[in-house]
Amino acid sequence: MSRYSALEVLKGGLTGQKHWQRAWRDPEPKQEYDAIIIGGGGHGLATAYYLAKLHGMSRIAVCEKGYLGGGNVGRNTTIVRSNYMLEDNAHFYEHGMKLWEELSQDINFNVMFSQRGIINLAHSDAQMDAFARRGNAMRLNGIDAELLTRDQVKEHLPMLDYSGKARFPVYGGLQQPRGGTARHDAVAWGYARAADMLGVDILQNCEVTGFDIHDGKVQGIQTTRGAIKSGKVGIAVAGNTSRVCALAGLNRLPIESHKLQAMVSEPLKPFIDTVCTFGAGHFYVSQSDKGGLVFGGDLDGYNSYAQRGNLPMVAHVLQCGMALMPAIGRIRLLRHWAGVMDMSMDGSPIISTTPVKGLYLNGGWCYGGFKATPASGWCFAHTVAQDRPHRLNEAFTLDRFERGYLIDEKGVGPIPALH
């Protein structure tokens, strides 16, 4: 398979676009692999890519029960940021930000990473104080952060309600200029193609239905396409983490599955050129390259594995949007959809070995795992290959919940739906 390049595009233009090959192969499962990753979402595919690229493993498979991009990687609102305050999170997500900045070149696929910045709005003096604290912590960790006054916010976001009649007036905001968005499908497709080019077998329509575990050590998996042997199996199935782990006897995880919705408007002319989050309700907005306003909000509020949501949350998100920017009042909504979130007890992820030898867990991404895709795959690949975490993910172990070392960025306690 050839690399994508300007020359290839030119060649295609001159030859009727007939020379393009499939982006990745569709192989039959082999009997045995050096490592198997369960879940062909962003995290599973990134893990397989970095295992092959950085750890010299050649016989790797990714088992995906559906099609690539059918899970959360293709359903999210694509916000990328590293504006964390706690030390463990800050270093991990900033490592991810640096990988994002090189990603399109690295995997030879345009993931449309757009560093348009993100602005978190503040609506009270207390919120401004909290943002000053977070911004200072970020800067101490070498991460870009700017505290914006109300007038500076107005320069970036003139469409907000500054009339003096707003229910929640804007006081200012915290900006991360290097934050932004990426094209979610391209991230899945790009990692898949890059991994495939390094020999990784991507097995779609291959649901994992059981594990072969003997004497506390994993020997392989059972799938809808037959049994496959391997002494190393990584689980990266996001909202299905509890279900898949239960098949391996890990029955009580510090994770609850919730649903989160997103929605998109009809296409508009350029309206907003940054990512903006409301500080007085759960609402955030950006504009896609096709022109649609992409809105997100809070969880639906009950546990479920279903990839569909309900209308009350759509109404709530749009009410928040109207409170913030009444100008959107006559815009029509085109579509809304949901994904299943693996909400952890402290709001931080798990990238870890497990009590079963050779079985590794990547989960607990809550609703912020898209931005973590490169760093998560990078750290999980290290954990799977070396049988121990990297320095960047050594805090994100499964046993931290037993040890009481919680990484609670929001400080809301062990209530998964609040993180």
Ligand X SMILES: Cc1cc2nc3c(=O)[nH]c(=O)nc-3n(C[C@H](O)[C@H](O)[C@H](O)COP(=O)(O)OP(=O)(O)OC[C@H]3O[C@@H](n4cnc5c(N)ncnc54)[C@H](O)[C@@H]3O)c2cc1C
Nearest approach, Cβ of 243 to ligand X (angstroms)?
7
Task: Please report whether residue 370 would count as binding ligand X according to CB under 6 A.
Answer: yes
Nearest approach, Cβ of 336 to ligand X (angstroms)?
9
Dihedrals phi, psi of 300, to nearest 5 degrees: -65, -25
Q: Among the candidate windows 8-16, 82-90, 114-122, 239-247, which touches ligand X by CB under 6 A?
A: 239-247
Going residue by residue from 102 to 141, which x/- string records binding to ligand X, judged by CB under 6 A?
----------------------------------------
Query: 96 or 173, CB closer to ligand X?
Result: 96
| Dist CA 413 CA 419 (whole Å) | 8
Tell me which H or E stretch contains 189. helix 184-197
Instruction: Write out the DSSP string of 62-106.
Output: EE-SS-TT-SGGGTS--EE-----SHHHHHHHHHHHHHHHHHHHH
Which residue is it, tokens 């991990």?
92
Contacts of 168 (CB under 8 A, 6+ apart): 123, 278, 279, 280, 281, 323, 324
Task: Please report whether residue 207 would count as binding ligand X according to CB under 6 A.
Answer: yes
Residue 364, burial from CB neighbour count under 10 angstroms (0-12, 13-18, 19+): buried
Query: 44 or 128, CB closer to ligand X?
Result: 44
Residue type, 299: L
Nearest approach, Cβ of 304 to ligand X (angstroms)?
12
Task: Please report whether residue 314 would count as binding ligand X according to CB under 6 A.
Answer: no
Q: Of these, 186, 237, 250, 320, which contacts ligand X (CB under 6 A)?
A: 237
| Dist CA 44 CA 62 (whole Å) | 7
Length of the chain: 419
Query: 106 or 185, CB closer to ligand X?
Result: 185
List the one residue out of 171, 174, 109 whose CA is nearest residue 139. Answer: 174
The site that binds ligand X (CB under 6 A) totals a number of residues, namely 39
Q: Among the candidate windows 16-24, 38-46, 97-105, 116-124, which touches ligand X by CB under 6 A?
A: 38-46
Task: Please report whether residue 43 would count as binding ligand X according to CB under 6 A.
Answer: yes
Nearest approach, Cβ of 69 to ligand X (angstroms)?
7
Nearest approach, Cβ of 46 to ligand X (angstroms)?
8
Q: Among the candidate windows 126-134, 250-258, 366-374, 394-402, which touches ligand X by CB under 6 A?
A: 366-374
Task: Please report whether residue 264 would count as binding ligand X according to CB under 6 A.
Answer: no
Instruction: Write out the DSSP string of 262-318.
Output: EEEEEE-SS---SEEE-SSSS-EEEE-TTSEEEEEEEEEEEE---S---HHHHHHHH
Task: Please report whether residue 356 would count as binding ligand X according to CB under 6 A.
Answer: no
| Dist CA 359 CA 387 (whole Å) | 9
Checking DSSP bridges between strand 255-267 and strand 292-303, what pairing results, if any? antiparallel
Q: Of these, 174, 202, 208, 385, which contacts ligand X (CB under 6 A)?
A: 208
Going residue by residue from 49 to 88, which x/- string records binding to ligand X, judged by CB under 6 A?
--------------xxxx---xxxx-xxxxx---------
Chain position whose Cβ is nearest to ligand X: 41
Q: Of these, 24, 42, 274, 300, which contacts ligand X (CB under 6 A)?
A: 42
Q: Structure tokens of 162?
A: 């500054």
Q: Which residues bind ligand X (CB under 6 A)?
A: 38-44, 63-66, 70-73, 75-79, 207-208, 236-240, 244, 260-262, 296, 339, 365, 367-371
